[in-house]
Amino acid sequence: MKKTILIMMLAAFTAPAWAQTEKGDWLVGGSFNLNTSDNNTRISLTPNAAAFIIKNLAVGANVTLSYTKEGLIKTTAFGLGPYVRYYFTSANVRPIVQGNFNFISSKTKVNNTSSTNNGTNYFLGGGAAIFLSSHVSLDAVLGYDHTKYNSLPGGGGFAMNVGFQVYLHKRQVERLRGR
């Protein structure tokens, strides 16, 4: 029985997933992040879209939407920028590295006073894409996230992002475009 379970696990982790990571294919998805501690809350949603420019390397863009509450301070932010992701294998569980750089704008409210700031944010991390089917993966990525606003000191730390990606074959993308 133990041998059967071991063989099944090895097959699941090493068998090709036949996902669409070839040149010309696309991925569309995003991640969700929630951090809470004491009187602090941070929620962010990061949708993304990217094209595979070579096998296993996707380049595209992402959007960041976030809300932070630290005591009486509430901040909403919007960011947009380039996104890159690389897949190391063709197995059902694929190690990945990804990074993004965003130009961000935020609005902070303290009581009845508000201010607007612009700045940059970057994330660089690694993790795994777990293919649930040939077109969908569940992703977990741990990395370093850093934000710097023009008028404020910068700061960063480790972040864990969990999300889904949908993979579209080149033919599916052409069909969506009406070709």
**For residue 18, what pLDDT is reported?**
53
CA 73 to chain centre: 26
Q: What does the pLDDT average to over 95-110?
A: 96
Q: Is the pTM of this model over 0.85?
A: no
Structure tokens at 82: 């380039």
CA distance 159 to 145: 6
CA distance 117 to 115: 7
Task: Name residue, tokens 């850093």.
Answer: 146
Task: Name residue, tokens 């569940």.
Answer: 138
**For residue 120, what pLDDT is reported?**
96
Catalogue all structural domains in the chain, each as residue range(s) with its CATH number. Answer: 2-176 (2.40.160.20)
pLDDT band at residue 151 using 50, 70 and 90 as cut-offs: confident
More confident residue, 173 or 95: 95
- Quickly count: other Cβ atoms within 10 Å of residue 74's Cβ: 16
DSSP 98-129: EEEEEEEEEEEEETTEEEEEEEEEEEEEEEEE
CA geometry: angle at 74 spanning 73 and 79, to 5°? 130
SS3 of residue 90 by DSSP: coil
pLDDT digits (tens, 9 = 90+) for 105-133: 999 999 889 999 999 999 999 999 999 99
